[in-house]
Amino acid sequence: MHPTIKWFFFIVCVTTTHNPVLSMIVLVVFYLIQLSFDSSINNDEGNTEKEYYRPERNNEHADIGLIYLAAYVMQIESIIHHNQVMYIKKFLSRNFDEEHVNSRMNLLNRLLHMNISYEDGCRRIMYYYEIENRYKIIDFLFSLAASDGRVSYYEMSAIRRIAQTLYVDENQFERLKKIYYKENESERRQRERPTTFTFTSIETHYSKLGLSKEASIDDLKSSYRKLVLKYHPDKWISASKVDQEKAKQQFIQIQEAYDKIKEHKGIK
């Protein structure tokens, strides 16, 4: 019960009964009734199944951010898998009517033929979803990536970038990663290479960012920001298909190199 309401009841009771003790008893009774009512509401809400798309701000456009991020993850691989498209359609069908589903599938189809930025989807998610619930978006994206049989390293890295942009707790991301992402043999061999090969690999990542291993953290971040801006898909919209694809691959490799160097340096 709001404090103003409590004082209102208290003053009314004192005025009518001229007995502060009786007034306090009445106030306590009202408080207990209100507490019981709030508890029943919370229990009802707790029994409601939560869906990924349900936002804190109720709006028919709240799920567009999901479609943007889904399209971004699907584009990471060179081939758009039919199973992933059907996963999106089934997900939408469980939560929306046919007209809404058709509208969103048309949007997905358009986005899959465009160079899109995950920041566009993240901005929408951050507007509609509170930060403590955004891990559900990451769960959704992992499920989408896994719907074609396996989450690849590039898909996992893309989802990590989205999680970091959405300020999803790192521990929550790692828990989901353990559920969905399993290294294949080549990824395992690369991780278990001898130290000499690891150093060579790290030097390659530094070179990708135009740096040496002696570069400071500030130099690393500065170079990363400049290259991301240079090869960001939004900057290549008017370029040819070939140049767009080259820029996209450069953008992905820059992100990968930055992640590997941060891991090597122990930067969170």
Residue 228's pLDDT band, with cuts at 50, 70 and 90, is confident
**For 253-266, what is the mean pLDDT?**
80
Identify the CA nearest to 228 among candidates 214, 204, 248: 248
Share of the chain above pLDDT 70, in %: 69
Q: Are residues 25 and 75 in the same domain?
A: no
Q: Are residues 71 and 181 in the same domain?
A: yes
**For 179-203, what is the mean pLDDT?**
59
For position 241, which CATH number holds?
Answer: 1.10.287.110
Residue 256's pLDDT band, with cuts at 50, 70 and 90, is confident
Which of 185, 214, 236 is the C-terminal boundary of a domain? 185
pLDDT exceeds cutoff 70 at 216: yes
pLDDT at 71: 93
And the tokens for 53?
């798309």
Query: Measured between alpha carbons, how far is 179 from 165 in angstroms, rounded to an integer?
Result: 21
Q: Are residues 72 and 120 in the same domain?
A: yes
Residue 183: alpha-carbon gap to chain centroid: 22
257, with CB counted inside 10 A (0-12, 13-18, 19+), is buried
Full residue range of the structural domain in which residue 84 is found: 64-185
**For 223-232, what is the mean pLDDT?**
85
And the tokens for 227?
């290259």
Residue 44's pLDDT band, with cuts at 50, 70 and 90, is very low
3-class secondary structure per residue, 113-134:
CCCCCHHHHHHHHHHHCCHHHC
Which of 134, 159, 185 is the C-terminal boundary of a domain? 185
pLDDT exceeds cutoff 80 at 29: no
- Give the other-Cβ count within 10 Å of 14's Cβ: 15
Q: Are residues 199 and 229 in the same domain?
A: yes
The pTM score is 0.54
For position 75, which CATH number holds?
Answer: 1.10.3680
DSSP state of 97: -
pLDDT at 239: 84
Q: Are residues 198 and 121 in the same domain?
A: no
